[in-house]
Structures are given as structure tokens and as C-alpha cells.
Copies of this chain bind each other. A is one copy, B any other.
Amino acid sequence: MSSFTRPLARLIEQFERLPGIGPRTAQRLALHLLRQPDDQVRGFADALLNAKRQVGQCQQCFHLSAEPICEICRNPERLSNQLCIVADSRDLLAMERSREFRGLYHVLGGLISPMDGIGPEALQIQSLLERVTERSPTEVILALTPSVEGDTTSLYLARLLKPFCRVTRIAYGLPVGSELEFVDDITLARALEGRRPVA
């Protein structure tokens, strides 16, 4: 639009590139930042550059980390005999939010997807195998999305790791708070399949 001065238009474009940010929101965010004091805008720019420059991967679990070994792997209170396998750092963070898991993680960096040309060698699976054989955890918990790719990866990992330890996967079923009549067929089928004796 001709009514934006160039430097402002460029900032709006940058916001528009972000996922889930439309033109109107991008404009609102850019105008908001222009009204903030200089040092706050500089703080934002610094945070961007520092995050990109400093954050890499943990050498043990491949979670995002600014240090060679991440905080979770370094935490002596975490149980090293349980290893939870997740596709990426976002899934790891979701697991952490549930506050239910106190073991360690291994971040695959994706899921096996022959359709997209992603085979096991493109993921952190060799490093996982080494970790399992060297550290021999008692249990590996697969926490992968219920999808074709997730199931393929779970199956592949289960076969690979079963000789070394117990392999489980998180339960698929009805989300808490959902109404049975509105739950989709496949979830209901999975919930039935995964039924457990009432204690």
C-alpha cells in the first residue's frame, strides 16, 4: 500500500512472514513497536539475533539448547532410566507442560515419511540407538503424533529398540473434557482398542 513509508512496510512484511500472522495483525504489531521506546525495540532485535546465534542443539538429546548439553539432560533430578522419544522440540515442550514425565528425552528431528523422502537416516535414530545401547534405560516411551508418519516411526523404533529395553507408547484415546458423541471415528476406534481394566 502506498500509505506505508518504506521502513514501516518492510517491518510489516517481516511480521507477515510469521506463521498465523495476517496483514492486519502484522500492521498492528509493527505500529505498536514504533510507539515503544528505543531500548525496547533494540531489546527485541537483540533477542532475535542472540537466540538465532546462541541456540543450537543439545549434543545428547538434540533439544534446543544454548549449551552443549541442555538443562534437562544436566538436571540430576531427572530419571535417566526413562527415555521419551519426541519428533521435535515443540513436542518436548508440550510434554514438559504436562509435568507428568520426569525422565530424559530424545528429539528425533522429524518423523519417518517415505512420501517426503525422509528415511530413518535423516533423523536422530542412530544416535538414539547408541544412547540406548550405551546407557541401557529400562524404558523407552514413544510420544509421537498419531498419524501415518507417527505410527510408521513408532513401529520402526519399537522393532529397533525392543532387543534392548521395554518400549511403550503414550495412549491414544478420548481427550479429557471431550464429548464422546463428537469424537471422530478413528480416535474412538483407538480408544476402544486401548481399553484398560477398571481398577
A3 touches B55 (CB 8 A): no
Number of copies: 2
- 22 A–B pairs (Cβ distance < 8 Å), ordered by A: A1-B96, A2-B71, A3-B63, A5-B55, A5-B66, A7-B50, A7-B51, A7-B55, A10-B47, A10-B51, A11-B48, A14-B44, A14-B48, A18-B33, A19-B29, A20-B28, A28-B90, A34-B52, A34-B64, A41-B48, A45-B48, A45-B49
In the complex, A42 has a CB within 8 A of chain B: yes
Partner of A47, one of B14, B20, B47: B14
**Residues of the B chain whose Cβ atoms lie less than 8 Å from the Cβ of A93:** 1, 3-4, 27
Distance A53 CA – B45 CA, assembled complex (angstroms): 13
How extensive is the interface on chain A, given as a class?
Answer: 35 or more
Contact with B along A29-47 (1 / 0, CB 8 A): 1111110101011111111
B55 touches A8 (CB 8 A): yes
Known A14-B47, A47-B14, A48-B41; judge A28-B34 contact (CB<8 A). no
> Chain A: residues with CB nearer than 8 A to chain B?
1-8, 10-11, 13-14, 17-21, 25, 27-34, 36, 38, 40-55, 63-67, 70-72, 75, 89-90, 92-93, 96-97
**Residues of the B chain whose Cβ atoms lie less than 8 Å from the Cβ of A32:** 18-19
